[in-house]
Amino acid sequence: MTAALRVVPTTPPVPGHVVLDQVRDFVARFSAFPNEHCAPMLALWYAHTWVIDAFYITPRLILSSPEPGSGKTRVLEIAQHLTRQPEMTAGGSAAALVRMVAAGPITILMDEVDTVFGANGAGNEEVRQMLNLGYKRTATIPKTKGDPASGFTVERLPIFAPTALAGLAGRMPDTITTRAITIHLRRRRHDEKVEAYREAKIIRQAEPLREALSTWAISAGERLVGTEPEMPPGVDDRPAEIWEPLLAIADEAGGHWPMTARAACTHFVFDKNTTPSLGVRLLGDLRALFTEAGTDRMHSAEIVARLRAIEDGPWSDVGGKPIDAQRLARELSLYHVAPMTFKHNSTNAKGYVTFPTGTQVTQVGLADAWARYLGVMEQLDSAAGSSSDVHETPGLIDNHAGHFTGGV
C-alpha cells in the first residue's frame, strides 16, 4: 500500500476551471491517450475524489487494454498523486481494503484486477462485493465479530469509495463495467511521445495541484450537494447516474468545462469500442446468424454449432468450455426467451424462433429481445414464408399464441 500524501490548504482557492485545466494538462504529459476526451475525463474523475462527500454515486474508472505494456499502470501512478487519500494495490492483495474503506475516505487504485475476477480469485469475494456494490453510498458488507465465549455480533462495514481499476480487456464482469467509465488504452507507437516518468520529480510537481484540488474542494463541496446536472441527449438511466458527479463538477467549475464534460460524456457513453455484455453479444450474434441463414427459426444444435464457428467470437470458451444448448438456454432465459419444439428442415427438435412474440406471456421470441437490447431490428424478409413449418406439438407450442415451454 502507498501512504497518501496529506495536503493542508495554505493558499486562496484557484478558480475551478483553472484547477481542472492544470490537472488535465498534467495528466496528458505522461500518457498517449486514444482520444481527446480521456485527459479531461480523468481530471474530472480525480477532482470528484476530493468532493466525494457531496455525492451518492461514485463512477468506477476502468483502464483496459488488450495487452500489457499499454500504460494502465502509468495512469494509476499519476492518479496516486492527484486523488484524495490514494491507496495503491495490486489485485488479490487488496482484502484489507474493506477495512480501510470503513476506517475513512480513501481512493482505491487497483492494478492487476484480473486476479480478483479470474479463475484464481475465489478468495477475493469481499473485494469483489466491494467493487460491485461500493459505487453507491449506502453499500455495506456484513462482518462477524466476537468469539464463542462472549458471543458473536454482525457489523456492517461501509464500502463506498472512489475506485480505479486497471486490467486486461474482457476480464471484468458486467456488474463492474456498467457502473464504470472505461478508457481503452493501446500500446504507444514509436512516434507518440510522452514525458518520462520520474516519481520524485512528479511528487514535487503534483503537490501544488493537490493543494489546489484540496482548497477548491473546501470551497465547492457544499455547493455540489444535491445538484442535478443536465445530461447530454440520449444519456439516461445508469450512464446518467454514473456521470452525474463529473458533470456537476464541470458545471461548478465553469469556463469551457460544462461543454467539455458533456462532449466527453457523449463519447464514453456511446463509445463503439465498449465491449458488450455476454448476453448482448449473444443476441447480436444470433440476429446475424438468423439474417445470414434467411430464417426465422433455428434448432439449438445448429445455433450452437454456428456460434462455435464464429472466428472472433467467445463461444468456444465460455466459462472454460464451449457453449452448449444448456448454456444457450440459460443465457437467453435472462431475456425471457425460451426454447420450443418445432419442425424445421424435416427435423423435429427444440430451438428458437424470431416471431411471433407474445405480449401477454412471460416467454417471448428473439425479436422482442433484439428490439429491446439491440435497437430496431432489420426485417428478415426471407423468413416470412417459413412460419407454417412450425410443428404444433400439444403442450409445447400453440402457434402464434406465444405459449412456450422451458427446457432445452
Local structure of 354: helix, strand or coil: coil
pTM of the model: 0.70
My answer on whether 238 and 322 are in the same domain is no
Backbone angles phi, psi at 383, to 5 degrees: -90, -15
My answer on whether 152 and 170 are in the same domain is yes
Which of 246, 269, 292 marks a domain boundary? 269
In-domain check, residue 407 = no
Residue 183 has pLDDT above 90, yes or no: yes
Nearest to 27, CA basis, from 60, 68, 61, 1: 61
Please tell me the predicted confidence (pLDDT) of residue 387: 38
Nearest to 137, CA basis, from 246, 53, 50, 224: 53
Measured between alpha carbons, how far is 105 from 102 in angstroms, rounded to an integer?
A: 8
Copy the grid coordinates of residue 308: 462455435
My answer on whether 105 and 64 are in the same domain is yes
My answer on whether 33 and 62 are in the same domain is yes
My answer on whether 321 and 299 are in the same domain is yes
Measured between alpha carbons, how far is 119 from 136 in angstroms, rounded to an integer?
A: 27
My answer on whether 227 and 332 are in the same domain is no
**Rounded mean pLDDT of 36-40?**
96
My answer on whether 80 and 58 are in the same domain is yes
> Which structural domain, as residue segments, surrounds residue 384?
278-389
Which of 212, 243, 269 marks a domain boundary? 269
Please tell me the predicted confidence (pLDDT) of residue 114: 75
Please tell me the predicted confidence (pLDDT) of residue 378: 37
My answer on whether 197 and 340 are in the same domain is no
Copy the grid coordinates of residue 31: 500518457
Please tell me the predicted confidence (pLDDT) of residue 10: 55
Question: pLDDT per residue over 64-108, tens digit each?
Answer: 887 788 889 999 999 999 999 999 987 654 557 778 888 888 999
Model confidence at 407, in pLDDT bands (50, 70, 90)?
Answer: very low
Nearest to 90, CA basis, from 72, 69, 66: 72
Residue 174 has pLDDT above 90, yes or no: no
Local structure of 191: helix, strand or coil: coil
CATH of the domain at 191: 3.40.50
My answer on whether 207 and 117 are in the same domain is yes
- CB neighbours of 299 closer than 8 A, spacing ≥ 6? 344, 347, 349, 350, 351
Please tell me the predicted confidence (pLDDT) of residue 68: 82
Peptide bond into 258 cis (omega under 30): no
My answer on whether 114 and 263 are in the same domain is yes
How many structural domains compose the chain? 2
In-domain check, residue 22 = yes
**Rounded mean pLDDT of 132-136?**
91
Please tell me the predicted confidence (pLDDT) of residue 388: 36
Residue 382 has pLDDT above 50, yes or no: no
**Rounded mean pLDDT of 27-33?**
94
Range 363-368, long-range pairs (CB < 8 A, 24+ positions): 363/336, 363/337, 363/338, 363/402, 363/404, 363/406, 364/336, 364/337, 364/402, 364/404, 365/337, 365/402, 366/283, 366/286, 366/287, 366/290, 366/332, 366/337, 368/335, 368/336, 368/337
Please tell me the predicted confidence (pLDDT) of residue 275: 63
When the pLDDT of each residue in the chain is averaged and rounded to a whole number, the result is: 82
In-domain check, residue 101 = yes
Contact 115, 171 (CB under 8 A): no
In-domain check, residue 36 = yes
Length of the chain: 408
In-domain check, residue 63 = yes
In-domain check, residue 3 = no
Backbone angles phi, psi at 386, to 5 degrees: -100, 5
My answer on whether 154 and 196 are in the same domain is yes
Model confidence at 3, in pLDDT bands (50, 70, 90)?
Answer: very low
Please tell me the predicted confidence (pLDDT) of residue 358: 54
In-domain check, residue 96 = yes
Which of 269, 298, 331 marks a domain boundary? 269
My answer on whether 305 and 195 are in the same domain is no
Please tell me the predicted confidence (pLDDT) of residue 396: 33
Q: Looking at this protein, which amino acid is placed at residue 342?
A: F
In-domain check, residue 9 = no
